Amino acid sequence: MTKKNSPTLAELAAAAGVSTMSASRAVNLQPGVSPQTRETILKLAAEMGYVANRSAQKASGGRSRMLGVLARELDNAYTSALVSGAVRAAAVAGHEVLIYSLADRTGIPDAGVLKLLQQFTEGLIAVLPYQNGFVQKLASTGFPVITIDHHHEHNDWPSVTSDSYGGARAAMQHLAELGHRRIAFITGNEELGSARARHQAYDDAVAIHGLDKDPALVQRGDFSTRGGRDAMQRLLKLKHRPTAVFAANDRSAFGAISVLQGAGLRIPQDMSIVGFDDVPSASQLHPALTTVRQPISEMGRAAVNSLLGMVAGLEVATPRITLPTELQIRQSTAAVARDHTVSRRGRSAGGPTGSRSRER
C-alpha cells in the first residue's frame, strides 16, 4: 500500500520479506542479492514510494550501471531473443538489466513504473508497442530512451529496427517467382513502422509483379497467433481462395498453418506460407517455415550500444538504426499447383487474375 511519506529501508525490507541488509544491497545496486530478488525489491520500492540512498553509488562515480527494458510480454520467442541480446550486450559493458513487463497487453505502465525506471536505471529500451504518451513522458524529462521499432508519429527518440520493407519484398518476389498470382497478406499491428513497411511492400509487389489486387486478400492479423488463425479462417471462406499467404510475422504464420492443417489442407501442395522473423521454432515445424530472418538478438545489442552512448552524453549519429534481413527458403513454399495455373484465357481455377503466368 502506498504511503504518503517515504517509507524507511526497514519497512521496505519487511514488506519484501527480506533482511534490511538484503534490501539495502538491492536498492543500492550492490552485489550479494540475486537478480530476481533485486528486481522484486526494486519494483516494490517504486510502488511504496521508497527513495533509495545513493551515497554508495556516488562514491563509485554516481552511476547505477543498470539499464531498463520495458516489454509487453516475455513469453514469445521474438521478445525473448531481443531481451537476451540486450542482456548479453549490457553484461559485456559492465551493466545489469532491470526488465519490466505487463501481462495486460492493452494497458500502459502506471506512474510507479515510470518512477522505478527513472530512480533505478540510467536509460530505457522500450520494446514496442506501447502508447506513445508513456515513452514520450520519459523522453521529455531528458531520460535516455531508445525503442525497438517505432510508432506512426515522428519520434523524438532513436529506434532500432530491421529492413522490413526489403525483407517483405523478397518474400513476395519468392512467391511470385513460384508462379503464385493470388497471394494473401496477414497484416501486423499497424501502429508500428515494421508492420506498415511490410504492408507497403506487399502492395508494391502486387503492382510490380502483376498479381491479383483484391482487398479480400488482405486480412488483419495483429502479429499474434490468434490473429493469424482468425485471418486464415476468413481467407478460407473466400469464393476464390489464395494459393499462397504471406504473414507479417511468424506467430501469425503459425496460426494460419494450424487452421490449414485442421482443415486437412497440405502445405505447400495446397497453399504456400511465408512468415517474418525466423524465430527458432520456424525451422522446427513440419514443414519448416519459409520466412524472412531479421537479426533479433543483434537488434537488442544495437539498442544497448546506442543507449550507452546516450547515457554518456554522446550525440546519436543515426536516430533510426536499420539492420538487414534475409529470406530463408524452406519447405512451406512451392510452385503453384497445376489446377491453379493460369489458362490461355488468363483465368485460373482459383479465380480471376490480372496477368498471365510466366513460362517455366
User: 342 vs 63, which has greater pLDDT?
Assistant: 63
135 by DSSP, 3-state: which?
Answer: helix
User: How much is the average pLDDT of 11-38?
Assistant: 80
pLDDT in tens, 90-122: 998 888 898 887 655 555 666 667 777 778 888
Predicted local confidence at residue 118, as pLDDT? 79
CA distance 329 to 208: 21
Residue 46, pLDDT > 80, answer: no
Record the pTM. Answer: 0.76
Sign of CA dihedral 282, 283, 284, 287: positive
Q: What percentage of the chain has pLDDT greater than the value 70?
A: 79
Residue 178, pLDDT > 80, answer: yes
Contact between 212 and 182 (Cβ < 8 Å): yes
Sign of CA dihedral 289, 222, 266, 334: negative
Residue 257, pLDDT > 60, answer: yes
Predicted local confidence at residue 12, as pLDDT? 85
Q: Which of 114-118, 156-160, 254-258, 334-338 has the weakest average pLDDT? A: 114-118
Question: The cell 520495458 sits on which residue?
Answer: 70
Predicted local confidence at residue 304, as pLDDT? 92
pLDDT in tens, 125-176: 988 776 556 677 777 777 888 989 887 555 667 889 999 999 999 999 999 9
Predicted local confidence at residue 343, as pLDDT? 35
308 by DSSP, 3-state: which?
Answer: helix
Nearest alpha-carbon partner for 270 in 188, 332, 343: 332
Predicted local confidence at residue 359, as pLDDT? 29
Q: What percentage of the chain has pLDDT greater than the value 90?
A: 47
Residue 53, pLDDT > 70, answer: no
Residue 319, pLDDT > 50, answer: yes
Predicted local confidence at residue 356, as pLDDT? 30
User: How much is the average pLDDT of 32-60?
Assistant: 65
Name, in order, each residue with C-beta under 8 angstroms of 49's C-beta and a sequence gap of 6 or more.
2, 3, 6, 7, 115
Predicted local confidence at residue 108, as pLDDT? 60
CA distance 223 to 128: 12
Predicted local confidence at residue 280, as pLDDT? 92
Residue 252, pLDDT > 80, answer: yes
Contact between 256 and 246 (Cβ < 8 Å): no
Name, in order, each residue with C-beta under 8 angstroms of 11's C-beta and a sequence gap of 6 or more.
3, 48
Predicted local confidence at residue 289, as pLDDT? 98
Residue 27, pLDDT > 90, answer: no
pLDDT in tens, 184-242: 999 999 888 899 999 999 999 999 999 999 999 999 999 999 999 999 999 999 999 99
